[in-house]
């Protein structure tokens, strides 16, 4: 048992599968999380991310495959035998104990002589030292979340699992805690694995994001890489907004593919398309599209549309534009101190974008692309 708890190194999942009766929740995933990194498992409800987390924690055992930390195979071991702690959305603090005693509970059970000192250090880390003598009922939700985090960190786990930990907090507090969690992770240097369905949360905090769908990992990489160059239709639509259209590749011009999207020719860099012949889903992000009253000369990749809606957001203005294809595009223009466009619904506009900002993915997703 001590051998499991002393395991150190990268977390590795090898061919991990979990079935419940006829349902496959996690379907043969391979994953390596470098020691000391902040890793996010991102996906919609039912994609298998929480089941994956529970298998790392030991709360579920894989139907097939192995869970490893370094060279130690944890498969089959119980949760308390693993060097892993979990912070859940529900804080599950002991109501009758003080905050200090809540945090010291784990070390005391393990007969640690310095349990109280370790608890105070952990409370200091999450900026809750001044609340050590209070009871959980006297704290706000955000403060209780910090205490739950201190209680997990006090055991010095090799891997800390965060299961939708900010889900119960309001938006402002959630943003503050995102920054705090990243600070704490950097300070303690532990491996954090964060499960969330909130794309902004994953992209704000994680070094690496794995996007899950139907028990598979669709794509894995740095947040900016997944956003800028999705490899599947699912990732393109799940991470942020994308203006997309199904087209057919008609020609190659140097480094570019020429795609006919419902009568409109558009270009995609070959290196930014997962498909090089036949049908392709063309996409470009809203902030990469420029809105003009007149057709810009010599740009190419320009389409005429009609403004449907204008939303002023303070830092930016969002335009919804009806395209000739029947699709409605979203365009996001920053409000700089230049002359505003002053567009109204019904106005005709030209949309342009750099072909180096567009991407192409298969029109249908076929499970995991690794």
- Residue 148's CB: how many other CB atoms inside 10 A? 24
| Per-residue confidence (pLDDT) for residue 336, from 0 to 100 | 81
Tokens representing residue 116 in the block: 């109280």
Q: Residue with structure tokens 């894995």?
A: 220
Using 50, 70 and 90 to split pLDDT, how confident is the model at 230? very high
| Per-residue confidence (pLDDT) for residue 366, from 0 to 100 | 54
- In the chain, the percentage of residues whose pLDDT exceeds 70 is 96
Q: Residue with structure tokens 């019904």?
A: 346
Q: In the chain, where are the structural domains located?
A: 4-228, 241-361
| Per-residue confidence (pLDDT) for residue 368, from 0 to 100 | 39
Q: Report d(CA 175, CA 251) in Å as an integer.
A: 46
Domain 241-361, CATH class in plain words: mainly beta
9, 1, 67, 5: which is closest to 190 by C-alpha? 9
Average pLDDT of span 276-291:
94
| Per-residue confidence (pLDDT) for residue 369, from 0 to 100 | 40
Strand partners, 260: 248, 265
Asked whether the predicted pLDDT for residue 326 surpasses 90, the reply is no
- 336 against 123, higher pLDDT: 123
Asked whether the predicted pLDDT for residue 283 surpasses 90, the reply is yes
232, 220, 169, 229: which is closest to 198 by C-alpha? 169
Tokens representing residue 161 in the block: 């699992």
Average pLDDT of span 256-277:
91
Q: Report d(CA 240, CA 322) in Å as an integer.
A: 20
The model's pLDDT over 105-133, given as tens digits with 9 standing for 90+, comes to 989 988 888 999 999 999 999 999 999 99
Asked if 4-228 and 241-361 have one fold, the answer is no
Q: What is the DSSP string of 149-196?
A: HHHHHTT--SEEEEESTTTTS-HHHHHHHHHHHHHHHHHH--EEEEEE
Average pLDDT of span 243-266:
90
User: Which DSSP letter does residue 273 get?
Assistant: B
Average pLDDT, the chain: 91
Asked whether the predicted pLDDT for residue 47 surpasses 90, the reply is yes
- 12 against 335, higher pLDDT: 12
Strand partners, 247: 280
| Per-residue confidence (pLDDT) for residue 299, from 0 to 100 | 67
- State the CATH architecture for 4-228: 3-Layer(aba) Sandwich (3.40)
Tokens representing residue 219 in the block: 């794509």
The model's pLDDT over 148-188, given as tens digits with 9 standing for 90+, comes to 999 999 988 999 999 988 887 888 888 888 888 999 999 99
User: Which DSSP letter does residue 355 get?
Assistant: G
């Amino acid at each position: 048992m001590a051998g499991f708890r002393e395991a150190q190194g990268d977390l590795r999942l090898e061919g991990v599968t979990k079935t419940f009766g006829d349902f496959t929740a996690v379907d043969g995933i391979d994953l390596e999380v470098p020691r000391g990194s902040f890793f996010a498992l991102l996906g919609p409800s039912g994609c298998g991310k929480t089941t994956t987390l529970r298998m790392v924690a030991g709360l579920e055992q894989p139907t097939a495959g192995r869970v490893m930390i370094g060279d130690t195979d944890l498969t089959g071991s119980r949760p308390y035998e693993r060097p892993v702690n979990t912070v859940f959305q529900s804080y599950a603090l002991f109501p009758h104990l003080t905050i200090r005693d809540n945090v010291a509970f784990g070390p005391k059970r393990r007969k640690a002589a310095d349990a109280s000192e370790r608890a105070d250090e952990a409370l200091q880390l999450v900026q809750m030292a001044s609340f050590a003598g209070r009871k959980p009922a006297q704290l706000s939700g955000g403060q209780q979340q910090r205490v739950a985090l201190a209680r997990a960190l006090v055991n010095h786990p090799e891997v800390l699992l965060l299961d939708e930990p900010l889900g119960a907090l309001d938006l402002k507090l959630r943003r503050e805690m995102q920054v705090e969690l990243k600070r704490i992770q950097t300070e303690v240097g532990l491996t954090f694995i964060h499960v969330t369905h909130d794309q902004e949360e994953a992209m704000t905090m994680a070094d690496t994001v794995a996007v899950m769908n139907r028990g598979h990992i669709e794509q894995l990489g740095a947040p900016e890489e997944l956003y800028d160059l999705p490899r599947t239709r699912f990732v393109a639509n799940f991470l942020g907004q994308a203006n997309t259209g199904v087209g057919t590749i008609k020609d190659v011009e140097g480094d570019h593919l020429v795609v006919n999207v419902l009568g409109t020719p558009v270009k995609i860099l070959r290196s930014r398309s997962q498909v090089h012949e036949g049908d392709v889903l063309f996409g470009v992000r809203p902030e990469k599209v420029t809105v003009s009253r007149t057709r810009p000369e010599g740009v190419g990749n320009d389409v005429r549309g009609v403004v449907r809606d204008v939303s002023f957001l303070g830092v930016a203005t969002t335009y919804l534009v009806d395209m000739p294809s029947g699709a409605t595009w979203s365009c996001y223009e920053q409000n700089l101190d230049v002359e505003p466009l002053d567009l109204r619904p019904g106005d005709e506009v030209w949309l342009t974008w750099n072909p180096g900002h567009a991407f192409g993915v298969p029109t249908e997703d076929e499970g995991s692309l690794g």
